[in-house]
């Protein structure tokens, strides 16, 4: 079979059904009949010489060949979506840059990283946040250009990813200036029984902190655990408790003197990564951010 014999319209229909796992829903979304959709997928199967779906009761399940074809279709139509995204605003000299950020990452850190793009009038930014796996799925489908994370991820043939280390910072213990100004505590030795707010269990930092306390036999009085760094910033500012976090999260409150640094630990580090696909197309605005 030659490439010109492949009907990409049929492949598109297969891609949509494979992703949805449901003929009726896709037929409605594409404004066609279920029978017409089935017929076009069967024509694709005839062209390829192998079945792409098997029925299990009322469910459509991909065959091994279907899984293989889907992986290529994801790239083909994902790149098509990327192309359309790139063309938006192109005639006006605009570049769209789509950045995903894990919900546990400091919004201050994200803003600091994209600051050069904020100053570039030719760049239109799309910013998303979410859980890492969901963001990586969108990255691999070419719906994002880069994902900012505080943990690295492995790359393999099915997930061709590249993790670029952006930097790291020590973790600080901060508290309200009215109580803790000119005072200091050792982490974790002096934290026994103290009211404290911590990043949630999903945060890469949390397991480090818990292990450090366990090894020292110290049990702080946990008052809150918060995944979202924007909320943890508010807790640190308004609760009156001590909070363990990267200083970048509360950089404005520290500058204003609302919060003070009570202690630091070089044993606790948050690392920052920019994750891209190895097959990505070069975007100058992104290259500049990655090279800084």
| Per-residue pLDDT tens digits for 28-56 | 888 888 888 889 999 999 888 899 988 87
β-pairing verdict for 59-62 and 123-130: unpaired
Indicate the CATH number for domain 168-269. Answer: 3.40.190.290
Are the CB atoms for 52 and 66 separated by under 8 Å? yes
Q: Is 101 helix (H, G, I), strand (E, B) or coil?
A: strand
The pLDDT tens digits for 222-242 are 999 998 888 999 999 999 999
pLDDT surpasses 70 at 93: no
Q: What is the domain class of 3-88 according to CATH? A: mainly alpha
Question: Which of the listed CATH numbers 3.20.20.10, 3.40.190.10, 3.30.70.920, 3.20.20.80 matches domain 95-167+273-291?
Answer: 3.40.190.10
pLDDT digits (tens, 9 = 90+) for 138-169: 898 888 999 999 989 988 877 889 999 999 88
Q: What is the reported pTM?
A: 0.68
* Paired residues of 243 in beta bridges: 174, 197
Asked if the domains at 95-167+273-291 and 168-269 fall in one CATH topology, the answer is: yes
- Per-domain residue ranges for the chain? 3-88, 95-167+273-291, 168-269
């Amino acid at each position: 079979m030659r490439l010109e014999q492949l009907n990409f319209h049929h492949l598109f229909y297969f891609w949509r059904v494979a992703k949805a796992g449901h003929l009726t829903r896709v037929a409605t979304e594409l404004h066609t009949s279920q029978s017409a959709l089935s017929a076009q997928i069967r024509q694709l199967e005839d062209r390829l010489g192998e079945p792409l779906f098997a029925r299990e009761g009322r469910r459509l399940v991909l065959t091994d060949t279907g899984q293989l074809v889907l992986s290529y279709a994801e790239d083909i139509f994902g790149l098509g979506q990327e192309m359309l995204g790139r063309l938006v605003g192109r005639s006006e000299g605009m570049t769209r840059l789509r950045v995903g950020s894990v919900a546990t990452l400091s919004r201050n850190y994200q803003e600091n990283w994209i600051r050069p793009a904020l100053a570039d009038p030719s760049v239109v930014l799309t910013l998303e946040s979410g859980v890492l796996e969901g963001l990586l799925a969108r990255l691999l489908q070419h719906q994002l250009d880069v994902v900012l994370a505080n943990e690295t991820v492995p790359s393999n043939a099915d997930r061709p990813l590249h993790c670029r280390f952006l930097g790291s910072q020590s973790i600080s213990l901060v508290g309200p200036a009215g109580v803790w100004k000119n005072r200091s505590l050792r982490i974790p030795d002096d934290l026994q029984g103290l009211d404290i707010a911590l990043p949630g269990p999903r945060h890469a930092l949390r397991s480090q902190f818990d292990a450090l306390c366990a090894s020292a036999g110290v049990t702080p009085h946990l008052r809150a655990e918060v995944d979202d760094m924007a909320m943890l910033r508010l807790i640190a500012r308004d609760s009156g408790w001590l909070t363990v976090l990267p200083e970048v999260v509360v950089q404005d409150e520290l500058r204003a003197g609302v919060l003070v640094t009570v202690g630091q630990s070089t044993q606790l580090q948050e690392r920052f990564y920019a994750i891209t696909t190895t097959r990505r197309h070069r975007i100058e605005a992104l290259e500049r951010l990655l090279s800084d």
